[in-house]
A and B are shown apart, each in its own frame.
Chain A
Amino acid sequence: DTEVTQTPKHLVMGMTNKKSLKCEQHMGHRAMYWYKQKAKKPPELMFVYSYEKLSINESVPSRFSPECPNSSLLNLHLHALQPEDSALYLCASSQVRRETQYFGPGTRLLVL
């Protein structure tokens, strides 16, 4: 099973709202990733967690706050977003070191 699940599928939020995106995998992977993808562009890496510790933050604004409560779950907390943050947010997981990343279906976020 190479499935990564993400909820919700779609999310509309105002600029003053607080919301969270959720990602889950049961493949025993110990590395998890958040990507942002704008229309007609490749995914851009935001955060990497390795063994539940944040290992890479690609200079993402603080209005995005990641959390990895356990080895199967990855959250992305959103607060005071801007309209330009509207995008497809993808989660991925992999074994640690040199392994293939498996992607979830994404959450389509619209910020009004």
Chain B
Amino acid sequence: AQSVTQPDIHITVSEGASLELRCNYSYGATPYLFWYVQSPGQGLQLLLKYFSGDTLVQGIKGFEAEFKRSQSSFNLRKPSVHWSDAAEYFCAVGIHGGATNKLIFGTGTLLAVQP
């Protein structure tokens, strides 16, 4: 069965420090992978996506993610965190088949940024 695991429920980093959020997936075929960010009470904003090609993907707001097929991982990174990055981060895998695709979300990682 397809699934996404985000092992870290809550992470706190200092402003200016580097960040890595972990994501592992289980999917039989080549996955479509996404990272979304959600501020409190808001919708989900797409940070970046991987469909194929270069395994290092650049996104918005200075985020990047690396697809590692051998580890079934798609970890999100940022070299220097800003206070405005505090939010919930969701990793998702796209299940494609027929005319529609579904997103399977991980449980999310809540990022807190301390001054």
Which A residues have a C-beta under 8 Å from some C-beta of B? 4, 6, 31, 40-43, 45, 48, 50-51, 55-56, 88, 90, 92, 94, 96-106, 108
Contacts and interface: CB of A to CB of B under 8 A. Distances in A.
A103 B45 contact: yes
Contacts of B107: 41-42
Interface stretch (B19-27, B35-43, B63-71, B72-80): B35-43
Interface of B: 32, 34, 36, 41-46, 49, 51, 90, 94, 96, 98-103, 105-108, 110
A90 B90 CA distance: 15
Given A98-B32, A98-B94, A100-B49, A43 B100 contact: no
B107 to A, nearest CB: 6
Contact of A56 (B90, B102, B108): B102
Contacts of A102: 46
Contact of A94 (B36, B41, B44, B101): B101
Contacts of B96: 97-98
A101 B44 CA distance: 10
A45 B92 CA distance: 13
Contacts of A94: 101
B101 A97 contact: yes
A94 B44 CA distance: 14
Contacts of B100: 31, 48, 50, 55-56, 96-97
A104 B49 CA distance: 18
Contacts of A40: 108, 110
A10 B105 CA distance: 24
Contact of A48 (B42, B43, B102): B102
